[in-house]
Amino acid sequence: SELANRLQRERAAATALISEQGDAEAFRLRTTATDKSIAGFRSRTKGLSSVPGSAQGALDRIERFIEEMPGLRAQVRSGSSTVSALAFGYRIVIADLNSYRDGIAQADGVDADIADRIRAAAALSEAAEHTAQQQVTVMRAQAAGGFTTASQRTFDAGRMGYTESTGVMFDLGPGEWRTWLERTLSGAKALEARRLEDEIGRTGTGKDLTVSPEEWQKAADDRQELLRSVEKRVDAAVLAQVSDARTTLIWTAGAEVALVVLTLVGVVVVAIRLGRVMIRRLRDLRNAAHEVAHSGLPAVMNELSQPGA
């Protein structure tokens, strides 16, 4: 989710640059932050021993996008890319990042409760993406002199998508996650973003937006930062649960191995003891046979060979 957040911020900076609402330096800073996040993401995924099929497909697509990013960024700097093409490219890779997490939840052997929490965390990331797309949609409308019918529909879909995604999170995640989100979004910054969103939503098509680009970008950035803070807490909670489950499995496996070893040792000890008893009895039998053959039998034969026997 960290990489998705960095890409969302880079997309907003790129949109601002192309639509003349931002500058090249702000875009450069965002790309630098994204590159650091990409390095961390690659480092973490490189150490994975195996990845489920659907997650691997998403991972491959993410890697291809990363390889193509220098060209996309060059188009942004030169102004040769359209805002819609730019937004589409970023949207696809961010969707793949969320699909990657869903793919992990669907892997064989994943505990059902852990899988639900991974899906809940992915749903929160999807909610953050809906608000990030909404941010870009408004920026495009501001540059174009108002909403078109299509962009108005996209804006409304973003609001609905956010509500649906948070609903999934509430259904699958523990109650405290809902508390974290609601408390985080009850502050002044979140309320200001909601106020501007409502004002923009009432504007209608073909009319200039009364909210300035500076106001909207600041409010939208603040809201994304708040959502990111909740994502971090949720991700940490999922990681802790996965780590606990892993530790439990390790201890269980260790106990099973120890039990097997103890069983084998017990079998060996019993076998040795039984073997010693059998060897002792066989030795006694051999000695008795030896005594009969060398002492008892000759004596009997000698006695029988005597006259009058």
Please give the pLDDT value at position 242: 78
Residues 127 and 96 sit within 8 Å (Cβ to Cβ): no
pLDDT at 296: 62
What pLDDT shows up at residue 149? 94
pLDDT in the model for residue 308: 60
Sequence-distant (6+) residues with CB within 8 A of 73 are 14, 31
- pLDDT tens column, 113-130: 888 999 999 999 999 999
Number of continuous H segments (helices) and E segments (strands) in the chain: 10, 0
What pLDDT, on the 0 to 100 scale, is given for residue 163? Answer: 95
| Per-residue confidence (pLDDT) for residue 161, from 0 to 100 | 95
Task: State the pLDDT at residue 292.
Answer: 63
The pLDDT score that the predictor gives to residue 293 is 65
Give the per-residue pLDDT at 55.
82
pLDDT at 47: 74
Asked if residues 165 and 126 have their Cβ atoms less than 8 Å apart, the reply is yes
What per-residue confidence (pLDDT) applies to 246?
66
Tell me if 117 sits within 8 A of 172, measured CB to CB: yes
The CA distance from 129 to 117, in Å, is: 18
Domain positions in the chain:
1-108, 112-260
User: Is the model's pTM score more than 0.85?
Assistant: no
Return per-residue pLDDT of the chain as tens, 309 residues. 799 999 999 999 999 999 888 889 999 999 999 999 999 999 888 877 777 767 888 888 999 999 999 999 999 998 887 888 888 889 999 999 988 887 777 777 778 888 899 999 999 999 999 999 999 999 999 998 999 999 999 999 999 999 999 999 999 999 999 999 999 999 999 999 999 999 999 998 989 999 999 999 999 999 999 999 999 999 999 888 878 766 776 777 777 777 777 787 777 777 787 777 777 777 777 766 676 667 766 666 666 666 665
Residue pair 154/137 in contact (Cβ under 8 Å)? The answer is yes
Instruction: Please state, in angstroms and rounded to a whole number, the distance separating the CA atoms of residues 244 and 55.
Output: 23
